[in-house]
Amino acid sequence: MPLYEYICEECSTRYEKLVRSNGEAVACPKCGSERKTLQLSVFRTTKSNRGSNGPSYSGGGCGCTPSSCGCE
């Protein structure tokens, strides 16, 4: 199940929702409105590598990272 991030167009609340199917209604948890804008979700993973000073990053399904994006 994908996790989607939304912004409500009525009250500007940001929220996340696990969506089971494309036809599932998604309403704002604060005001109940179904008027929303889907946000681009980017996730971060970390690897435990010896000699590494920081986390490695992984973007969404199109290859985005903090320094470049393969979505274009």
Each domain of the chain, given as residue ranges in start order, spans 1-61
Tens-place pLDDT, residues 29-71: 999 999 999 987 666 666 655 555 555 544 445 555 555 555 4
**Could you tell me the CA-to-CA distances from 42 to 36, 53, 64 in Å, in that order?**
18, 22, 8
Exposed e or buried b per residue across 22-48, where buried means at least 16 C-beta atoms within 10 angstroms of its C-beta: eeeeeebeeeeeeebeeeeeeeeeeee
Alpha-helical runs (H) found in 16-56: none
Instruction: Determine if the pTM surpasses 0.85.
Output: no
Q: Are 24 and 9 in contact (CB under 8 A)?
A: no
